[in-house]
Structure 1
């Protein structure tokens, strides 16, 4: 049921995000593909294609970053290449960056985004010292400490809505996919409790004040 909810909310995000303001508070963090641009040669960079885990990349956790100039990036993790809905493990779109976990034998399809090994990016996606976070997926216990937090809407538009998803982990859910704890749209503000090891995903119209 959580898997179905995740897919539905992802589709709603893709449709509604064009109406969301991208305005951000000056103290908020919006990491992007610009963060990874330098002269360093990464040991692994995969983009725009289908890859088999165990052959093209090792099993493990990775970060996906939307390619520069694109509106959104997206990915699909499947058990095979038939295209059947039964083979789907996780499928999602994102505005900025997100984390995934893949297992041997799975297939990963990337569109308009690039995969990196998180440890090779150093502090480029380390937000532990920031006062506010927005537009990305953040690690509880690393980017934000466990506890109760307030989610707020970035836009001044009275009709604007915020959106978030909270995952218990990236690989303990349906078919080894992410374990979704909660995902919802909200107006005004919302209080949530974050636990060690969880992942908090926010859109560009939603921020958390640390």
Structure 2
């Protein structure tokens, strides 16, 4: 497996930039002499940046009832990507043959027509995508809309096996997109990551045996920044949260008392005083053998008033809620 831990688009972009900085004079001349390749790389870079921006956006903030058809098509394409579709591309505006988006999921190819209207969608859209999917040699045709479908459209779609993705289905896709799911070993490497959210906002992290989060191994609902270990064939499911590789970052007390760090990496082993961040409520800490935070891996824990005393040992993991620590 490659040394770069994350396999996200942003990592690929950083790799391209880093690589370009190290080009020798000879490589630079070669790059300039190949304008077609340069144009293709530029287009790909723009597409990668667009995809990454789509992943970072709050999907529910997009008002698809107040947008134009082209913006809706881009929104739908990004939404499909966020729901596990691959090879997602927009067709040309002219001569699209009734298909706006081509996509693939689990080796099934889709031809999708997008309809952003103020009224319900009739059977013409079904006819268009039915013929269009044949032209693009796709297995399944679908119509995606911000509205609903007329009875005639539903009947025709049933007869021709066309999927109808209406307003309710769109909201379900948005909900799924805001719950980011990563397969360990495929989307990112096993190891330790730091999970965090927006400042002073609660987030949720689930590590599960399945992508639907039904076989939960452990779960964190917190603020601040927490170190988490994930393993091969597990799923990392994030809601309102982000992640990055767990490298050295010195402990800071500005996380509103919510944090989990590795002793010996993020802070030194030794004796510490621990204080309640909000003195009106109890502070809490736990020390674990690893960054999986299971009850069986817990070494000690304490609810305390105002302040307490702890000894942190190399290689353990400190979990804090409503607290901050100072070395003695």
Band of TM-score, shorter chain: 0.5 to 0.7
* In structure 2, distance between residues paired with 1:50 and 1:132: 28
SS in 2 for 1:169: coil
Offset at residue 95 of structure 1 (A)? 0.9
What is the aligned partner in structure 2 of residue 79 from structure 1?
A: 209
Cα distance change on mapping 1:118 and 1:111 into 2, 3 Å: same
- Structure 1 residue corresponding to 2:307, chosen from 189, 194, 203: 189
1:166 corresponds to 2:134: no
What is the aligned partner in structure 2 of residue 179 from structure 1?
A: 297
TM-score, normalised by the number of residues in structure 1: 0.62
- Structure 2 residue corresponding to 1:198, chosen from 310, 313, 316: 316
1:91 corresponds to 2:258: no
What is the aligned partner in structure 1 of residue 250 from structure 2?
A: 126
Considering only CA atoms, is the larger Rg found in Structure 1 or Structure 2? Answer: 2
Cα distance change on mapping 1:185 and 1:42 into 2, 3 Å: farther
SS in 1 for 2:272: strand
Q: How does 1:1-210 map to 2 (within 5 A)?
A: 42-43=10-11, 48-68=179-199, 71-81=201-211, 83-84=213-214, 87-119=215-247, 125-127=249-251, 134-157=257-280, 160-170=281-291, 179-203=297-321, 205-210=322-327
Maintained 8 Å contact 1:147/1:195? yes
CA RMSD for the aligned pairs?
A: 3.1
Offset at residue 81 of structure 1 (A)? 3.6
* In structure 2, distance between residues paired with 1:154 and 1:190: 12
- Structure 1 residue runs of 5 or longer lacking an equivalent are 1-40
Would you say how many aligned residue pairs link Structure 1 and Structure 2?
A: 155
Maintained 8 Å contact 1:90/1:178? no
Cα distance change on mapping 1:92 and 1:152 into 2, 3 Å: same
Offset at residue 135 of structure 1 (A)? 3.0
Maintained 8 Å contact 1:146/1:194? yes
- Structure 2 residue runs of 5 or longer lacking an equivalent are 1-8, 13-51, 57-178
Cα distance change on mapping 1:61 and 1:103 into 2, 3 Å: same
Cα distance change on mapping 1:100 and 1:156 into 2, 3 Å: closer
Offset at residue 178 of structure 1 (A)? 8.2
Maintained 8 Å contact 1:170/1:179? no
Q: Higher relative CO (CA 8 A, sep ≥ 6), structure 1 or 2?
A: 1
TM-score, normalised by the number of residues in structure 2: 0.42
